[in-house]
């Protein structure tokens, strides 16, 4: 077992025990039970620092895409570090407020904002709506006009660039539901600029997620700048360019560029085209939290089979939905390597949920026995935020670590919580 993890430098083995910062994960598992998500605050701040270095001396606002992990304590870390937030629902806005975030630094993305969500966002005074369709423009105009306000907007453009990632998380291609077609952009800006309830402030794009190459970003940037030139030549000022999120992380030897290196290239392009001083916004999610977290789970049973051996753990697809949804890879490693309790074997690591799709890792070489605990790595993004109660399973607990200090930031969901809002028919 390697002593360190290239993608997760805040997780390492010391005295044959897996640690996050200065806390042994086995101790946390004993204290808080399993399945348990554990996050490193230093890992989040270090990921953020790479963006901050990249933007040194520039006008830039980092809006954490909180869909990646919207736990209040995680939001608090980013709010205190000066981040804004990219939200996609009224529920996410409420979370930002509960975490002490600055609503003026909130941008509201998503193709299906309701009137109620628009009103809530206007009342609280968010920074910008990233509008995704022509009909949304008209509805937002109506809602804002009725409130006697002007909604700040940016139009999300679909630049038709292939981000070379999993089709479910690719968003900037013509066939995707997101954004306004490149060809329609000018006409839509002209329409929006003439409406009394809207104020055009920016332009926006987001081409996909888990992007590991620089070129799709450079292509999208060129297309966006072409559009900005065209729109401004028609007298509509674009104060900021929002470049979305999408930067990938190392799950399995993936080699995405570092945030500062990516932005060095993008800023060079902005400078070369005369946009170096324009205000920039970005919406990173996964790259800020994905490698800051793990999910600790206990081996319940080993089930040898003719074709497959199964290692059944107490976390499942309701806690870790990414393998089932995207065939995603997460490394799975033991917490304690001091005295392996069993011979090495090849296992499919699966959960207790009654679906064959409930797998967490396939064909993994592990040396484990029932009662041992393993960590599912790179589980900080799109795990807890996508967790469900399928099979009437309460959601896992979450702990935030800072050096030697471990704080329980979400209690394990009790079964009684699951049906607290239900009633029997009288």
Which residue, 167, 128, 165, is CA-closest to 283? 128
Query: Helix, strand, or coil here: 259?
Result: helix
Q: Provide the H-helix boundaries in 308-394.
A: 322-326
In angstroms, what is the minimal distance from the CB of 288 to ligand LLP? 8
Contact status: 244 vs ligand LLP (CB under 6 A) = yes
Tell me how far apart the alpha carbons of residues 7 and 254 are, in angstroms, rounded to a whole number.
Answer: 9
The CB-of-272 to ligand LLP minimum distance in angstroms stands at 25
CB 334 within 8 A of CB 18: yes
Give the residue, chosen from 86, 250, 298, 358, that forms a contact with ligand LLP under the rule CB under 6 A: 86
By CB atoms closer than 10 A (0-12, 13-18, 19+), residue 317 is buried
Q: Using the rule CB under 6 A, which residue among 169, 266, 299, 396 binds ligand LLP? A: 169
DSSP secondary structure, 333-353, as one string = EESB-SS--S--EEEEEE-SS
330 touches ligand LLP (CB under 6 A): no
Size of the site for ligand LLP (CB under 6 A): 22
Distance CA 71, CA 81 (A): 16
Task: Find out whether 71 and 395 touch, Cβ atoms under 8 Å.
Answer: no
Which one of 6-14, 75-83, 258-266, 277-285 is the stretch in contact with ligand LLP (CB under 6 A)? 277-285
Residues of span 280-319 touching ligand LLP by CB under 6 A: 283-287
- Kindly state the smallest distance separating residue 210's Cβ from ligand LLP, in Å: 6
Distance CA 87, CA 11 (A): 29
Q: How far apart are CA 334 and CA 374, in angstroms?
A: 4
The count of other CB atoms within 10 Å of the CB of residue 265 is: 16
130: which strand partners?
A: 154
Helix, strand, coil shares, percent, the chain, to 5 = 35, 25, 40
In the complex, the smallest distance separating the C-beta of residue 175 from ligand LLP, rounded to whole angstroms, is: 16
Binding mask 109-148 for ligand LLP (x = CB under 6 A): x---------------------------------------
The interface with ligand LLP within residues 181-220 (CB under 6 A) comprises: 206, 209-210
**Considering beta carbons, is residue 141 or 209 the nearer one to ligand LLP?**
209
User: Could you give the 3-state DSSP secondary structure of residue 112?
Assistant: coil
23, 63, 311, 354: the catalytic one is 354
Nearer to ligand LLP, 373 or 395 (CB): 395
Segment contacting ligand LLP by CB under 6 A, of 185-193, 224-232, 242-250, 391-399: 242-250
For ligand LLP, give the closer residue by CB, 206 or 393: 206
Stated length of the chain: 426
Binding ligand LLP (rule: CB under 6 A), the pick from 23, 65, 221, 259 is: 65
Q: Which is nearer to ligand LLP, 159 or 246 (CB)?
A: 246
Q: Between residues 141 and 158, which has the closer beta carbon with respect to ligand LLP?
A: 158
Positions annotated as catalytic residues are 354
List of residues contacting ligand LLP (CB under 6 A): 65, 67-68, 86, 109, 169, 171, 206, 209-210, 244-247, 283-287, 322, 326, 382
């Amino acid at each position: 077992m390697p002593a360190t993890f290239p993608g997760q430098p805040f997780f390492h083995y010391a005295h044959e025990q897996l640690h996050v910062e200065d806390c042994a994960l086995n101790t946390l598992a004993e204290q808080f039970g399993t399945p348990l998500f554990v996050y490193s605050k230093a890992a989040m701040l270090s990921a953020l620092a790479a963006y901050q270095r990249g933007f040194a001396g520039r006008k830039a606002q980092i809006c954490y895409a909180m869909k990646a992990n919207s736990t209040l304590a995680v939001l608090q870390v980013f709010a205190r570090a000066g981040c804004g937030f990219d939200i996609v629902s009224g529920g996410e806005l409420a979370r930002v407020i509960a975490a002490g975030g600055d609503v003026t630094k909130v941008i509201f993305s998503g193709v299906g904002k309701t009137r109620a969500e628009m009103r809530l966002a206007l009342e609280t005074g968010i920074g910008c709506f990233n509008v995704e369709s022509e009909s949304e423009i008209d509805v937002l105009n109506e809602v804002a006009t009725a409130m006697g306000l002007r909604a700040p907007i940016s139009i999300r453009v679909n630049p038709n660039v292939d981000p070379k990632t999993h089709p479910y998380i690719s968003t900037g291609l013509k066939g995707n539901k997101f954004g306004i077609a490149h060809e329609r952009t000018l006409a839509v800006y002209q329409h929006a600029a003439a409406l009394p309830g809207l104020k055009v402030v920016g332009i926006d794009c987001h081409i996909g997620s888990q992007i590991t190459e620089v070129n799709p970003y450079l292509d999208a940037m060129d297309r966006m700048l072409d559009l900005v030139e065209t729109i401004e030549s028609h007298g509509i000022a674009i104060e900021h360019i929002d470049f979305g999120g999408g930067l990938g992380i190392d799950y399995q030897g993936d080699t995405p560029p570092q945030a500062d290196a990516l932005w060095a290239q993008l800023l060079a392009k902005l400078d070369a085209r005369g946009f170096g001083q324009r205000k920039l916004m970005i919406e990173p999610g996964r790259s800020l939290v994905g490698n800051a977290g793990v999910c600790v789970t206990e081996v319940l049973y080993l089930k040898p089979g003719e074709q497959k051996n199964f290692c059944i753990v107490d976390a499942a697809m309701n806690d870790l939905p990414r393998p089932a949804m995207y065939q995603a890879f997460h490394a799975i490693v033991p917490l304690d390597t001091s005295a392996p309790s069993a011979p090495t074997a090849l296992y499919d690591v699966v959960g207790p949920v009654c679906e064959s799709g409930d797998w967490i890792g396939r064909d993994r070489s592990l040396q484990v026995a029932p009662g041992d605990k393993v960590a599912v790595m790179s589980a900080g993004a799109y795990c807890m935020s996508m967790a469900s109660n399928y099979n009437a399973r309460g959601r896992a607990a979450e702990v935030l670590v800072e050096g030697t200090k471990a704080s329980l930031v979400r209690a394990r969901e009790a079964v009684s919580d699951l049906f607290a809002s239900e009633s029997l028919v009288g």
